[in-house]
Amino acid sequence: MRRIFIYDTTLRDGAQTEGISYSLQDKINIAKRLDDFGIDFIEPGWPYSNSKDKQVFDYFKKHHLKKSKLVPFGSTAHPSGPAYKDKNLISLIKSDTEYVTIFGKTWNLHVKEVLKISLEDNLKIIFESIKFLKKKGKKVFYDAEHFFDGYKANPAYALKTLKAAQEAGGELIIFCDTNGGTLPQGVKRTVMEVKEKLSLDNFGIHCHNDLGLATANSLILLEDGCIQVQGTVNGYGERCGNVDLISIIAILQSKMGYNIVSSQKIEELTHLSHFVSEISNMAHRDNSPFVGRSAFAHKGGVHIDAVIKNPLAYEHVFPSLVGNKRRFVVSELAGKSTLVAKAKELKFDLDKRSSQAKKLYNLLQKLEKDGYQFEAAEGSFKLLLEKEFKRYKKFFDLLGFRVIIEKREDNKLISEATIKLKINNKLEHTASLGDGPVNALDNALRKALRNFYPTLSEMYLTDFKVRVLDEKSGTAAKVRVLIQSQDEKENWSTIGVSENIIEASWQALVDSVEYKLLKDLKKSESVAIK
């Protein structure tokens, strides 16, 4: 089969996502992880546009990657001067890489209204820019920016821009759907026409996701000469993002038979996706294909029963193939089979026909009626099982707490929580300030427990969500609080429900802390036995 090369532009195109701002070390760390995974080409940035991107290339001149090839990104020469004096092109040469990528204008609208030059001058700029880089020993990937819009508006001129790149010695032409507005049939029809007219055997594709079709638009060309797919991890990018390379790699390898990375590395795909989202400080999408937390989650009772008998009934690939795992979600839609399967997943042996299963099932039904939703709070659900199976240990008793919110003359809001606990028959009475009442309560609880359970310092809260369950009740409505917590090894979610938001938050906080303490206790007991 034809070799398909993966070209990652997370650190350049992906960095244009709203909310993402990579530091120099972030870029270095992500590039190293992509290299370890086996990505063919990594585009760390545009060295002429900012000093940070230049520093990335300077770093890797001394610390070479194992497999991946770094590719600096830039534009064709500025119309105001010759290519050999263009600082942008010179910066690409100074990056000291085998390959460079430059983009040029293929749409007459951009030539006339953005560059404000003649169509002929644009052709000259494309040719001379690539020719200059070739003379300096560079292999040039030419990104035909806005190609599909340009070809639709003026096919003859769009073809001339590609001919200019070809004649100058461009290594590979990349068709770019920069606005992301082309349908799959349009992508295929256009490229087939261009291939025939230019005798083009190999090419690349770079799709944006404004129609939600970037993956389809990329894959549709793989049987017609496409040898390079450009995109980003998790589909990051400006507006609606780029094609998601995580999905592309998984589909190519698991569905189409291409050998993109080794069988060992493909199992790291889920970890890679989460690694990049963590460094990008972006919440990982639960419903991401292949690698999302919900990608192999089953909620309906009929589905779960079938998957237990044969996973192929409702799974298109085995989760382990991409490093993910199957999950059974406990909810009001599921029956006792789901409960038993979920208990087994969490290492609890529950017989479907037992009175214990019936009792637990009835309890769950009641709690869900009250507003609890354990599909989003597996930490609380596991604690529920611990208590039912008599494995639960109480780590402290609450004797009382008080939360005060004070608005002062300088308009500052002060939140203070006071808490009284009994721990190992010892009284602990502490107070703490916080950014809000829940944060103050969290700080006070940790402060009270710190000397007794020092491992709590490893744990921190990563998310806090509040949902009103009955909007018609207004401010007296029952609320559901979900808290996500994390330590060095894992993350977990806990839940609380009450008409009082502080009480609901307290319930979720206590579950979160107890989950951590119980986990650490079992770990120490396991080590002691060994």
What is the C-alpha separation between 300 and 283, in angstroms, rounded?
Answer: 26
Give residue 334's pLDDT. Answer: 54
With 60 as the cut, is the pLDDT of residue 527 above it? no
Section 461-487 average pLDDT: 81
What is the pLDDT at residue 310?
87
Q: Does an H or E element contain 206, and which?
A: strand 203-207
Structure tokens at 341: 């399967």
Lowest mean pLDDT across 69-83, 127-141, 403-417: 403-417
Taking the C-alpha atoms of residue 206 and residue 69, their distance in angstroms, rounded to an integer, is: 18
Please, what's the b/e burial string for 415-446 (b: 16 or more CB within 10 A of its CB; e: otherwise)?
bbbbbbbeeeeeebebbbebeebbbbbbbbbb
Query: If you average pLDDT over every residue of the chain, what do you get?
Result: 91
Among 14-18, 278-282, 423-427, the range scoring the smallest mean pLDDT is 278-282
Per-residue pLDDT at 332 exceeds 70? no
pLDDT band at 341 (very low <50, low <70, confident <90, very high): confident
> What tens digit of pLDDT does each residue of 58-106 get?
999 999 999 999 999 999 999 999 999 999 999 999 999 999 999 999 9
> DSSP code of 187?
H
| Six token digits for residue 334 | 């599921």
pLDDT tens-digit readout, 169-190: 999 999 999 999 999 999 999 9
Q: What is the mean pLDDT of residues 420-433?
A: 94
**Strand 413-423 to 397-407 pairing:** antiparallel
Phi, psi of 443 (to 5 degrees): -65, -40
DSSP-derived pairing of the beta strands 297-298 and 226-231 = unpaired
For 53-62, 128-137, 367-376, 438-447, which range has the lowest pLDDT when averaged over its residues?
367-376
- Catalytic residue ranges: 303
Interatomic CA distance for residues 140 and 97, integer angstroms:
11
Give all domains of the chain, ordered by start, each with its CATH number: 5-279 (3.20.20.70), 297-370 (no CATH), 396-452 (3.30.160)
- The strand ranges marked E within 125-198 are 139-145, 172-177
**pLDDT beyond 90 at 158:** yes
Taking the C-alpha atoms of residue 290 and residue 246, their distance in angstroms, rounded to an integer, is 8
Residue 309 has pLDDT above 90, yes or no: no
Confidence of residue 381 (pLDDT cuts 50, 70, 90): confident
Q: What percent of the chain has pLDDT over 70?
A: 96
Predicted confidence (pLDDT) per residue in 489-515, tens digit: 888 989 999 999 999 999 999 999 999
Question: What number is the average pLDDT over the span 284-292?
Answer: 93
- Of 7-16, 310-319, 477-486, 494-503, give the range with the top mean pLDDT: 7-16
Which tens digit of pLDDT belongs to each residue from 50-60?
Answer: 889 999 999 99
Q: What is the pLDDT of residues 236-257, one digit of tens each?
A: 999 999 999 999 999 999 999 9
CA–CA gap between residue 200 and residue 193 (Å, rounded)? 10
Q: Other C-beta atoms within 10 Å of 493: how many? A: 23
β-strands 172-177, 226-231 pairing? unpaired
DSSP alpha helix (H) spans, 77-154: 87-94, 108-110, 119-135, 147-153
> How high is the pLDDT of residue 257?
93
Which amino acid type is present at position 243? V
Q: Compute the chain's Rg from CA coordinates.
A: 28
Q: What 8-state DSSP symbol labels residue 374?
A: G
- pLDDT value at residue 472: 63
* Overall average pLDDT of the 283-293 stretch: 91
Q: pTM (2 decimals)? A: 0.72
pLDDT at site 15 = 96
Whether 421 has a pLDDT exceeding 60, the answer reads yes
pLDDT at residue 336, as a whole number: 64
Residue 526's pLDDT is what? 62
Q: What is the mean pLDDT of residues 153-162?
A: 97
- For residue 475, what pLDDT is reported? 65
Residue 271 burial by Cβ neighbours in a 10 Å radius (0-12, 13-18, 19+): middle
Whole-number pLDDT of residue 24: 93
